[in-house]
Amino acid sequence: MDVDQGCRAATSGEAADRLAVSSTLPPMSAAAAAGTGFAARVVAWQKANGRHELPWQQTRDPYHVWLSEIMLQQTQVRSVIPYYQRFRTRFPTLEALAAAPMTSVLEAWAGLGYYARARNLHLCAQTIVRLHGGQFSGDSQINARLPGIGRSTAAAISVFAFGLRAAILDANVRRILARCFALDATPSPAADRRRMWALAEALLPTTDIEAYSQGMMDLGATVCVHRQPACDRCPLASVCRARQQGRQAELPARMPKKPLPERRESVIMLTDGRQVLLERRPASGIWGGLLSLPELAAGSAEALAQRNGCRLLATTELPAIDHRFTHFRLTLAVLRADVQPIGHAACEDRWQWLPLERIAEAALPTPIRRLLLSLRPPGDRSDKAC
Ligand code: SF4
């Protein structure tokens, strides 16, 4: 799924990242930064040049603010907009979301990726209905204890739904702070995160908190981008230490990534040319609750075909699928099994035949979805749900 500019990337409270900044005193203190008019520059820039027309900027409803913040995690704005609008139509209230079956939520999320967000969204809605009378609190510390909501997302809800002062610290904001303050890496990511949070909080203005918070996000998404920041358009250019030192490319520093462990699985793609056999995955674990191809461990191609009312015609090994999860890499060997239907009923509840024309709207893991889309006739392969 899309990652980087324009998205709320994972935050330290939500998923420990590998960004590391100095645990020694930064080259410029927050107080000194305030003297440079840091917040005032961001606020003025946002009002004149920031984004004002995003759909979730037209509301203060905490449900809608929360929904947009979760969708924006690790996903670009342009990808989120249609999902956000469809989600609001399908689940107009937090209560409607809480009451919906998980399969409906996953279907509405299909194609947006990182499905743990959808599962947590559903769980969070149910928790708020059960424990908080269906209402978000303005207190970010209370919201940060809800499923799927970390410190930065909770702060965003406080700022954009309640107009309260709270520090947002997503990857975009961290990138700006690391560059502007020329913060170097240290061996202690935890201490670095604490220092970064303290800096983010110290820089908060006493007024215009929404324009400031939106401005930091807009700057990170459109000006102080990961590669080739547009310093000539930046309102912080005259106070930015990285720019003064010519170190934009090396900041923020990143800890070296450890190689990910690898896992190998085999799956089977049983199809009669009109439908494909899928299996609902267990609620927990990878791709929890999604439909996916049955694991080959479920039986041989011939046995699986027979158990599901089909005669096996031919098998073909397809190119393996490589997929990167946060904590490991998965290589999926895929066996295509062409079958002829006889009875054609899925033999267990967790298995179902999916018509090929419904692949785009089904709640499928992204790499499986991409593979299955290739089954559709040429001219009918656009991913209409994305
Ligand atoms: S001057 Fe350049 S590096 Fe510094 S904050 Fe602005 S865009 Fe980022």
CA angle 63, 80, 9 (to 5 degrees): 85
List of domains in the chain: 30-250 (1.10.340.30), 262-373 (3.90.79.10)
Query: Whole-prediction pTM value?
Result: 0.82
55 — phi, psi (to 5°)?
-55, -35
Query: What is the number of the ligand 1 atom nearest to the C-alpha of 248?
Result: 3
Query: Measured from the CA of 229, which atom of ligand 1 is nearest?
Result: 7
Atom of ligand 1 nearest to the CA of 230: 7
User: Which pLDDT tens digits describe the chain residue by residue (386 residues)?
Assistant: 333 345 564 443 343 333 333 334 444 566 666 666 899 999 999 999 999 999 999 999 999 999 999 999 989 999 999 999 999 999 999 999 999 999 999 999 988 888 899 999 999 999 999 999 999 999 999 999 999 999 999 999 999 999 999 999 999 999 999 999 999 878 888 889 999 999 999 999 999 999 999 999 999 999 999 999 999 999 999 999 999 999 999 999 877 778 899 999 999 999 999 999 999 998 888 888 899 999 887 568 898 888 888 999 999 999 999 998 888 999 999 999 999 988 756 556 778 899 999 998 888 998 999 899 887 766 655 544 32
C-alpha 351: how far from its chain's center?
A: 28
Task: Check residue 327 and give its pLDDT.
Answer: 87
Query: Atom 4 in ligand 1: which residue has the minimum CA distance?
Result: 240
Q: 113 C-alpha to center of ligand 1: Å?
A: 30
**CB burial readout 147-168, b (16+ within 10 A) else e:** ebbbbbbbbbbbbbbbeebbbb
CB–CB of 42/212 below 8 Å? Answer: yes
For residue 31, the model assigns a pLDDT of 61
CA of 232 to the centre of ligand 1 (A): 8
368 CA → ligand 1 middle, Å: 39
Ligand 1 binding pocket, CB closer than 6 Å = 176, 179-180, 223-224, 229, 231, 234, 236-237, 240, 242-243, 248
- pLDDT score at 34: 61
Q: Whose CA is nearest to atom 8 of ligand 1?
A: 224
pLDDT for 256 equals 75
CA pair distance 287, 169, nearest whole angstrom? 28
Q: How far does residue 36's CA lie from ligand 1's centre (Å)? A: 15
| CA distance linking residue 128 with residue 358, whole number of Å | 33
Nearest in space to 157 (alpha carbons), one of 53, 57, 62: 62
Active site residues: 69
Which of 235, 233, 231 is closest to 244 using CA atoms? 231
The residue whose CA has the least distance to atom 1 of ligand 1 is: 237
β-pair partners for 5: none
pLDDT at 348: 66
At residue 1, the pLDDT reads 37
What is the CA(140)–ligand 1 centre distance, in A?
Answer: 29
| pLDDT for residue 23 | 38
